[in-house]
Amino acid sequence: MPSSGSGEDHLCQWLYETFQSSDPDLKLIVLSFIPLISSLYLSRVISSPYSSSLAGFESVILTIYQSETRLRGGKPLLISIPDLSQPSLYHTPRPGSRNRRQAVAQERQAKVGVLSPPLEPQMAVKSTKRACIVAVGWVVFIGKISAMPVRSKIDFCEFVVGWAGQDCCCRYELDDDESSLSNFNEDGEIGSFSEEMGRLGINERSNSNGSCNGNGNVRGSGDFRSCRIPLPWELMQPVLRILGHCLLAPMKAQEVRDAASVAIRSVYARASHELMPQAILASRSLIQLDKSTRKAARDASGMAVIGGMASNPTTPSKPKKPEVLLVSK
């Protein structure tokens, strides 16, 4: 509804009050709405920033940001980075006895990276802090993504396709004939990639009413799912982390992986057009991992079929001769 997201929106009020509760299960329900709320909010801010009030959406996003700010306590999120100069991640060179302490201290310092800087308290969603506040909501979503419903993950992947807004052929420039997504398996059990995406409802839906203007930018569509938004590194980083989980995490829902495969290729095209080296490297790596995972699944499926044919009980087998035991007297 066009009037949703205002300060009088009852759903936003319920989400805001529910996230304030101490029940962790209720908080998970609120977090499952993060993809939908952020997509509606960002699309309306970009398409019509002065049309209506979005205080309802902002209150939900802001309360999640404030909760995460309190949990971090003014400290940054750190991550351990392996020393890529070594031949193995498990290889630790032994420094000389004279400079052992100094070498160990330098090694430990080099392995620590800042994943997210300390959060500053915010009382309102300002335009200069909007990307940071929304990104923190996505980071919280990542922390609980294993408990998120399948529909919420698919929604996020669908929205990413629209946010990236890239409907150009360079999305699939990393896909070759052997590992392309045109066929998921040899016997056509799933069928073509376009048919599968059509069944999921995300095949070109985000860009169905738009046209590529030569730079890969889509224009001409008013649906919130196909609204192209600015994607600075603050937003791109959690997007890549969520897509990485959807592509590589062990799960039974194949629909999530298929939706993430479409989304990561749109992100790669967007990053290529805007010359974002960090996003290009990350999205390219995820595409390669997706291709290798699908190839391994096809190979395993083929081996299973061959093994099933070999162990078919209807296949006649030659009767075994009785064993003769020779006993010496």
pLDDT at 115: 83
Alpha-carbon gap, residue 284 to 162, rounded angstroms: 19
The H-or-E segment that residue 219 falls in is strand 218-219
What DSSP designation does 148 have?
A: S
Alpha-carbon gap, residue 119 to 66, rounded angstroms: 9
Tens-place pLDDT, residues 263-321 = 999 999 999 999 999 999 999 999 999 998 888 878 877 777 776 666 555 655 556 56
> For 52, how many CA atoms within 13 A lie in the half-sphere containing its CB?
16
Among 24-28, 35-39, 153-157, 213-217, which stretch is predicted with the lowest mean pLDDT? 213-217
Alpha-carbon gap, residue 69 to 119, rounded angstroms: 6
Please calculate the CA angle 164-170-173 and round it to the nearest 5 degrees: 125
Please calculate the CA angle 50-18-136 and round it to the nearest 5 degrees: 60
Domain ranges within the chain, ordered by starting residue: 1-77+106-147, 149-306
Among 13-17, 80-84, 191-195, 285-289, which stretch is predicted with the lowest mean pLDDT? 191-195
Tens-place pLDDT, residues 58-98 = 999 999 999 999 999 889 888 887 766 666 656 665 655 55
